[in-house]
Structure 1
Amino acid sequence: MVRFLLRRLVGKALLLVVAASCAHLLAATALDPRGNYEGQRPPPPAETVDALLDEYNLNPDTPLAERYLVWASGVVTGDFGRSWDGSDVTAQLVRRVGVSLRLLALGAALGALGGVLLGALAASRHRGGLDRTSVAVSLLVISTPAVVVAVSLQSAALWVNQVTGSELLRATGEFTPGLNGGPVAQVMDRARHLLLPTLTVALPQIALFSRYQRNLMLDEAGSDYVRTARAKGLTKRAALFRHGLRTALGPAVTYFGYSSALLFASAVFTEKVFGWHGVGEYLLDSVGRGDVHAVAAVCCFGALCVVTAGLLADIGRFLVDPRTRVL
């Protein structure tokens, strides 16, 4: 187990370094923070702009390799640099990470558990009503962009509130400002605000994972040990759940881990639609402002999430599937 973890940790660390480096190099090449100063009225003198860009390590006239080395030396110490307006990128990132992690963690857990359960149930009722309905709904959700899912849930919540004449569901924000009440009221308020964004993140994951899990379970339905279990008197459903599910979970766990990039992309639009001030909103705003260091920092956070999810997926498959322990 120790050797397995060491090999995976070294590989993930190298992958993280490459991803972070590519993120900064691409952002520094494609984005131009100079436009933020030129759009001011009146615009500052050119020499003042150059001085500020040099101070923040953002001047496109400076060689890219030199800017990268300065940025990388700061990242090693936990400093992601400054934005074009002088604000601390690290402070902004730290403040927003907790917001996004609440959304991502709940969405990932609900998506994975819901997808496995729905896929296994659909496979156990192959070509039945549940199977056909889940396939049709899953394909519909998969083909729908995350922003459309978010807006649709938001509109549905507003309609429900209007029909019931109450604020049963909250369509924007993380909490209600100035809410009076004890801890229970505060928790319930945050839960109401969290419900719709979590569903927006989880529904595409449930649809995607259920299709994958269903197909894996159907592949296991024809295996020798499942047929043997059925010959001993178990029903098809019992044989699949008791003997086929664990084997099918091995590749599914790996797929769950490395599909976390899709989860992060979904959270970007979800935060923007529902007014959550997380790293997804920060990324979209930073791209619009040409904020090189902010974009690179968010991409580094996303890469860290994907690499961590991949490592956890490798560990999960190691524990679930004994065959991987000889690799």
Structure 2
Amino acid sequence: MTRYLAGRLGYYAALLTAAVFLSYALTGTALGPRAYFEAKQPRPSAASVDRQLTALNLNDRTPVVERFGTWANGLLHGDLGRTIHGTPVNDEFGRRIWVSLRLLLVGTLLGMLLGVAAGAWSAVRQYRLSDRALTVLSFVLLSTPVFLLALLLKNGAIAAKDAAGHEVVPFTGYETPNLAGGIGAHLADWALHLLLPTLTLALGGLAAYSRYQRATMLDVLGADYLRTAEAKGLTRGRALLKHGLRTAVIPMTTMFAYAFLGLFTGAAFTETVFGWHGMGEWFIQAVNEQDVNSVAAVNLFAAVAVLAAGFLADALHAALDPRVRAA
């Protein structure tokens, strides 16, 4: 297993290098920071614009490969460059990364656990009322865009506030400013602010995971090893839980890495709707401002997060499947 994971780690390291270069090259080619400086009033001279762009490593007259080399060299020394406003990208990155990680990790875990449980339950109760209800709910959620789901939840919270006369569930921001109290009060406040954004991401994950889990669970329900386990004295429920679910979960580990990428995309809209100042909101702002270095930093975060999810999926696959461990 160690040998297998070491090989996968090397593969992901090479993939990360390629992903970071391609994302920087595309960003540096597609965005035009020169227009941002030329639009200032009073309009600066062409020489002044060139000096500012060169100082920020954004000059489009410098080959993109050379600009990437400068940026990558800074990255190796822990420097992500400067934003288009001249402030350090590191400062903005450090403020926003924990906001997004909090949302992504909780949303991923909740969506995966609920999706696996709902899919397994739906398969065991195939064609019954609960199965049909979960199927309809899953397709409704799958067909609802993330930003629309976020808006529906936020509007529901606003309606609840209007009806009750006070805020029932926080629907903007990720914490209450200047909150008094100890660590317990702050943790409770973070959990309440996390509720609606996490639910937005988790519902999408629940729908996708449950459909896939239902299909894989149906494949194992009639397996010989389940009948053998029951013949040896295990109840149907224990046989399904101990042997059937473990086998049916194995294909889900592969889906986990790909689903995480979709979750990250959805988080950008979720953060914007709920006023979370995370990486997704920063990405949208940076693209609008033609801020190449900030976009590159967010792309770096996304690449590391997705590939880390892929490596975790491989580790889970190896832990669950003895054939992989023996390879």
Q: Is TM-score (shorter-chain normalized) higher than 0.5?
A: yes
How many residue pairs get aligned? The number is 327
Counterpart in the other structure of 2:320: 320
Counterpart in the other structure of 2:42: 42
* 1:138-287 mapped onto 2 (5 Å cutoff): 138-230=138-230, 237-287=237-287
- SS, match of residue 28 in structure 1: helix
What CA distance in whole angstroms lies between the structure 1 residues aligned with 2:168 and 2:211?
32
For 1:318, give the aligned amino acid: A
Counterpart in the other structure of 1:88: 88
- 1:97 Cα deviation (Å)? 0.4
Deviations 1:223-249 (A, max 9, x none): 221233456676655543332100111
For 2:48, give the aligned amino acid: T
Which structure 1 segments of 5+ residues have no match?
none
- 1:208 Cα deviation (Å)? 0.5
- 1:5 Cα deviation (Å)? 2.2
- 1:167 Cα deviation (Å)? 1.2
- 1:184 Cα deviation (Å)? 3.0
Q: Give the TM-score normalised by the residue count of structure 1.
A: 0.95
Counterpart in the other structure of 1:28: 28
Q: Percent of counterpart pairs with the same letter?
A: 46
- 1:182 Cα deviation (Å)? 3.6
For 1:10, give the aligned amino acid: G
For 2:3, give the aligned amino acid: R
What CA distance in whole angstroms lies between the structure 1 residues aligned with 2:232 and 2:62?
74
What CA distance in whole angstroms lies between the structure 1 residues aligned with 2:78 and 2:136?
47
Deviations 1:168-223 (A, max 9, x none): 10110111223333433332222221100110111100110011111100011122
For 1:294, give the aligned amino acid: S
What CA distance in whole angstroms lies between the structure 1 residues aligned with 2:130 and 2:241?
16
Deviations 1:16-38 (A, max 9, x none): 11111111000000000112112
Deviations 1:15-67 (A, max 9, x none): 11111111100000000011211222222222111100011110111112211
Q: Give the TM-score normalised by the residue count of structure 2.
A: 0.95
For 1:196, give the aligned amino acid: L
Q: Is the 8 A contact 1:217 1:240 kept in 2?
A: no
Q: Using the TM superposition, name which of 281-290 and 55-64 deviates more.
A: 55-64
What CA distance in whole angstroms lies between the structure 2 residues aligned with 1:234 and 1:179?
53
What CA distance in whole angstroms lies between the structure 2 residues aligned with 1:3 and 1:234?
36
Q: Is the 8 A contact 1:116 1:209 kept in 2?
A: yes
For 2:92, give the aligned amino acid: Q
- 1:296 Cα deviation (Å)? 1.0
* 1:59-78 mapped onto 2 (5 Å cutoff): 59-78=59-78
- SS, match of residue 259 in structure 1: helix
What CA distance in whole angstroms lies between the structure 2 residues aligned with 1:271 and 1:103?
9
What CA distance in whole angstroms lies between the structure 1 residues aligned with 2:232 and 2:163?
54
- SS, match of residue 42 in structure 2: coil
Which structure 2 segments of 5+ residues have no match?
none
* 1:127-142 mapped onto 2 (5 Å cutoff): 127-142=127-142
What CA distance in whole angstroms lies between the structure 2 residues aligned with 1:4 and 1:20?
24
What CA distance in whole angstroms lies between the structure 2 residues aligned with 1:11 and 1:183?
42
Q: Is the 8 A contact 1:111 1:206 kept in 2?
A: yes
- 1:282 Cα deviation (Å)? 0.6
Deviations 1:224-280 (A, max 9, x none): 212334566766555433321001111112211332101111111111111111111
- 1:130 Cα deviation (Å)? 1.3
